[in-house]
Amino acid sequence: MSEFLTTHCIYGTINTCPTITVGIIYSHRNGDNMAKTILEVQNEILRLKKEKDICILAHSYQGREIIEIADFVGDSYALSVKAKSVPNKTVIMCGVRFMAETVKLLSPDKTVILSNKNAGCPMAEQFEKDEIDYIKKKNGNLCVVCYINTTTELKTVCDVCVTSSSAVKIVNKLDEENILFIPDINLGTYVKNNVKGKNIQLLHGGCPVHASITESEVLKAKAEHPNAKLLVHPECVPEVVKHADYVGSTSGIMDFAKTSDADEFIIGTEQAIVETLQFECPDKSFYPLSVNMICRNMKATTLVDVLNCCKGTGGEVIELEEKTMKKARKCIDRMIELG
């Protein structure tokens, strides 16, 4: 049983205790109306993944019950890199579609399963490949910098990929001066404000979860918690970002909160991070910047979805054409080279 108590995590090691999960799951989807506890389903997943040699990845915005059964938890790109290094031939990605595609791009010989086929990312799917290709060529072959949160199809017309933590560093290192940054206007604005000597053009894309937060919500949260440090994701609008004590990726926010001498933090990213930080740092206090910061796509995956993936009756096996992967990998290779 002790093997169930530790989840290896990109942020460190999470000591989990399945006995705290007391909810009930009704597995109607399998035609099995027997009620099972969350712990029973978790144990069945753990048994199956061991038996079938499956690696389970969970993005850090997943629910606690999924994080507890994952082999690795973290940001999307870090999870893809981790998946490449594990010996397992089958990987289940509990997250959204572009994340499963990135795992496949980096590990083309593995079977990669997206935990819930309806889990997309509105930001990643905002622009079409042809649209970006047209803008790129019409403007004298702009250098297209894309956030990792893009589809594989879109990456085929991009020159270099970035993560939220590497974006400023990579754009700074580019030889090209004329840049089109896609799809997030807010991360793009953050990059623009922190990079000198480049002509950076932006489009009106973005993450509906982070972009929905307003400056008045920041002022309200700061008034309620005057001693708390404000940590925000650069996908938030500039009016929110300008009040932050720290701006960074999800893992950056978590590292900052864990190592800071401060005791209180207002967290400007998905609600799951507030929960995880409170779980891992019980002596500190974490407050959500807004209770509306919940990504419905990230929460689409249920524990029963993961169970069905392990059984081979659920999820979606990611299939990408070899020529598409080859083109899309070029911008990831350039990110690795510059990062």
CB 149 within 8 A of CB 183: yes
Q: Is the CB of 159 or the CB of 235 nearer to ligand SF4?
A: 235
Contacts of 71 (CB under 8 A, 6+ apart): 7, 8, 49, 55, 56, 57, 86
Nearer to ligand SF4, 183 or 314 (CB): 183
Residue 167 interacts with ligand SF4 (CB under 6 A): yes or no: no
Chain-centroid distance, C-alpha 58: 9
**Minimum Å distance from CB 50 to ligand SF4?**
29
The window from 119-127, 160-168, 170-178, 308-316 that contacts ligand SF4 (CB under 6 A) reads 119-127
* Cα distance between residue 126 and residue 26, in whole Å: 35
Residues within window 145-164 making contact with ligand SF4, judged by CB under 6 A: 149
CA dist., res. 62 & res. 135, Å (int): 35
- For the CB of residue 116, give the shortest distance to ligand SF4 in the complex, in Å: 12
| Residue whose C-alpha is closest to residue 207's, from 145, 128, 297, 136 | 297
Nearest distance from C-beta of residue 124 to ligand SF4, angstroms: 6
Angle at which helices 250-259 and 271-280 cross, to 10°: 30
Distance CA 213, CA 255 (A): 22
Note whether 209 binds ligand SF4 by CB under 6 A. Answer: yes
- C-beta of 212 vs 278, nearer to ligand SF4: 212
| Cβ-contact 74, 82 below 8 angstroms | yes
**For ligand SF4, which is the closer residue by CB, 102 or 149?**
149
| Integer CA distances (angstroms), 327 to 68, 85, 330, in order | 36, 22, 6
Indicate which single residue of 96, 145, 148, 191 sits in contact with ligand SF4 (rule: CB under 6 A): 96
Nearer to ligand SF4 by C-beta: 38 or 295? Answer: 295
Of 65-73, 117-125, 168-176, 249-257, which segment contacts ligand SF4 by CB under 6 A? 117-125
The footprint of ligand SF4 on residues 246-275 (CB under 6 A) is: 270
Compute the radius of gyration of the chain from its Cα atoms: 20
Q: Shortest Cβ distance from residue 211 to ligand SF4 (Å)?
A: 8
The answer to whether 123 contacts ligand SF4 (rule: CB under 6 A) is yes
Using the rule CB under 6 A, give the single segment among 33-41, 130-138, 153-161, 204-212 that binds ligand SF4.
Answer: 204-212
> Per CB under 6 A, which of residues 33..92 are in contact with ligand SF4?
none
Question: Closest distance between ligand SF4 and the C-beta of residue 42, in Å?
Answer: 24
Pairing of strands 12-15, 6-9: antiparallel
Strands 24-26 and 35-37: antiparallel
Count Cβ neighbours within 10 Å for each residue of 26-38 and write b for 16 or more, e otherwise. Answer: ebeeeeeeeebeb
Q: Which of residues 274-303 bind ligand SF4 (CB under 6 A)?
A: 295, 297-298
> Footprint of ligand SF4 on this chain (CB under 6 A)?
96, 121-123, 149, 207-209, 270, 295, 297-298
